[in-house]
Amino acid sequence: MKKLFSRLRSTLLLGILLFGTAMQHSYAQDVSVSYQAFYDNLSPYGQWVNDPQYGNVFVPNVAGDFRPYGTNGHWAMTDYGNTWVSDDPWGWACYHYGRWTYDPYYGWVWIPGYEWAPAWVSWRYGGGICGWAPLCPGIGIDGAYNCPVSWWVFVSPQYLYRPDCMHYWGGPGRNGEYIGRADFVHNAYMDNGTHVRYNFGPRADVIQRDTHQPVQVYHVSQSGRPGAAGISGKNISMYRPAVNRATASTARPANVIAAPRPISSPHAATNVAAAKQPAFRQQVQNHTLPNAQGAQQHGNATQPQTNNRPQHNNPANAGRPQPQHNNPPAVNRPQPRSQPQPQQRPQPMPQQRPQPQQRPQPMPQQRSPMPQPRPQPAPREMPHEEQHEGGRR
């Protein structure tokens, strides 16, 4: 009886554990949001742009050296595969739904999607190197990925899961060498709950074999609200709701502007200094960045959002970012008008100048009487004539 009771208790405990795990996974799918959730929660942290090809896309307020799956976050191995854990309050959306592309005018641009994955990237592994690159729109997880070479990031496998893994990347200048050493990782995985296929990336046992270091595998749980992911023990909590596709046609971003330029095909990503950011960021950042910082400090996306929308609408009403460049000339126009005013001050100058001109006038008057006595010595010529006459005598 004791053995039977012990077996029943073990079976019951195992059932409770399995039920709890199943509830956690199902809970992630039970949370459903409309497409409007992207617009409302991301608006305080960047600018929505309506592109003729991709529709409404998101340009985050970031520094010039930003790159997706490389800035403000790190990799972690989870029960879903290699998962990007973002520290950005908008990372829950931009790193787990949709795709990225790089345009020289806008910088990095996020194109929304509906399907959740631990990361939408392509992986390379081999030759002592592990690399990844964000997937651009229209690219699947199977086969080779011919993105620009500068999109890749390569580190040694022992640094992959470090929070500062980007410090061990040699930069895009060595990517050509790394690409020749590492092969594509074709490790497709399908989520049983959502039936979404994505690239799992290099497995934990492969990295442990090459690095001789244990790899911590975390469990992913559902967070109750959008924001940065949180790690507690062996658990990673992140917001990953199911997005209702049917709501995309009715959803509208409050701060969307028409694209000043259409987004072109993927270009090479360049790291530029913060003072030399792409032209579009220079136009919009002054209107969005202060609110984005406020949202990060308060940890509430709705509070800065209401204050931010009128600022986003200003560039749109002003003719979309271009009139902002016309404002400086408008400020400079009054300056040349004020220049004639100092020209009126020198008016006494010409009045003083004629005064010295009047002084030379008496000079010729004083000289004029001097030649007048010269014709008077005419009688003096008489003695000369007398001398001539005396000579004759």
Q: Are 123 and 185 in contact (CB under 8 A)?
A: yes
Token couple for 115:
């399907």
Helices (H), the chain: 2-30, 36-42, 91-94, 175-181, 204-211, 279-298, 302-317, 322-332, 334-338, 340-344, 348-352, 354-358, 362-367, 381-392
Query: What is the full per-residue pLDDT of the chain (393 aa) written as tens digits?
Result: 555 545 545 555 444 444 444 444 434 445 789 999 999 999 999 999 999 999 999 999 999 899 999 999 999 999 999 999 999 999 999 999 999 999 999 999 999 999 999 999 999 999 999 999 999 999 999 888 999 999 999 999 999 999 999 999 999 999 999 999 999 999 999 998 889 999 999 999 999 999 999 999 999 999 888 999 999 999 999 999 999 999 999 999 998 999 999 999 999 998 654 445 667 776 665 554 333 333 333 333 333 333 333 333 333 333 333 333 333 333 343 444 444 444 444 444 444 444 444 444 444 444 444 444 455 544 444 444 444 344 433
Q: Domain for residue 183, yes or no? A: yes
Based on the number of CB atoms within 10 Å of its own CB, is 368 exposed (0-12), middle (13-18) or buried (19 or more)?
A: exposed
Q: Domain for residue 226, yes or no? A: yes
Determine the Cα angle at 264 with ends 262 and 270, to 5°.
120
Q: Domain for residue 187, yes or no? A: yes
Q: Domain for residue 344, yes or no? A: no
**Containing structural domain, residue 145:** 24-264+274-304
Q: Domain for residue 149, yes or no? A: yes
Q: Domain for residue 322, yes or no? A: no
Q: Domain for residue 127, yes or no? A: yes
Domain count along the chain: 1
Q: Domain for residue 315, yes or no? A: no
